[in-house]
Structure 1
Amino acid sequence: MLTPEYPLTTPRLHLRPFTPDDLDALHAYESRPDVTRYLYWEPRDRQTTRTSLDKKITRHTLHDEGDALDLAITLRTTGQLIGNALLIWTSTQHRQGEIGYVLHPDHHGHGYAPEATRPLIHLGFTQLGLHRITGRLDARNKASARVLEKLGMRHEATLVDNEIVKGEWTSETIYAILETEWTP
């Protein structure tokens, strides 16, 4: 089991569990077509965002395979919620996890995604005992690929037209890093 001490702190950010008060800020980015373009879901209305938030609120401890930390990314200076970062425990037997992140577009291009994700990778390797952490993304999402590269992850595969997402064939790119390759 892993229950981090919150907030997780970086030079510019705090990562903390979501609360009911985060609805407006979460909806501000989950409702945008430019945010959901490369994700599995369409822009969310307020009620669907509320359902999403209810799930996020419960995702702050890893008990077993399949659990996830889904944390609010906030600016240390203002407390403003600007996105979320995710660590999923994908396999106990193979000691594997996966990371993800979503940021409000107003905060793209400032290095927040790698800064927010780095502590989750660190937790995965040092406290959860993972051997390998992956990042999966729509192959068209070049900005997200750059984030994974900044984290030291390597491109391992592109699965061509492997899924139908939102009614069209899409390709998936997979990045990964091993525990022995991680430098905090």
Structure 2
Amino acid sequence: MTRRSLVRGWPAAAVAVASALVGVVVGSSLSRPAAGPLPRVAAMTSLSQESFAVCTAPIDSTVEGFFVLDFETGDLTGGVLSQNTSKFGVSYRYNVLKDLGFKPGKVKNPKFLLVPGLAGFGGAGGGRMASSVLYVTDAATGVTVAYGIPWNAQQTAGGAAPVMAELVTLDIARPRGGGAKVQ
């Protein structure tokens, strides 16, 4: 290599080095975290088959509940795991058939949907509610009932005995003639 070829190649090398430095600066600024922490993401799930529907729903900012609807009996049951014992510290049970307009003993091959949703309200009757509600829909009529989930984080603290609670009927929507009324 001659001195002349080195002099000619210098501008190209300088451009390559400058481009690499710009790439490093831009890349490092893009990989820095934003001004604040990343937002928390809460996921809710729902699934059904011929006999059961299941869903998960956030109860508060640290725990979620798991709920099962038995189509044959109409029993909506669920629970919240205790963070101290890894056992269900709070359990829920409620029969949805009456709310959906079914007469006892007259239910034949019902099909339901069970979907969780977020809610930001205080409790009914002075009690605190979870940050989610459960919607149960009769797939044949579209009648939908919203259920509140009573919640007190102290009930699962310290390995206390399991607590059984009843879901709270909040409202009923009847899309085929009739407004939303709770009996």
Query: Smaller-chain TM-score range?
Result: under 0.3
- The structure that has the greater radius of gyration is 2
> TM (normalized to structure 1)?
0.26
Q: Which has the higher helix share?
A: 1
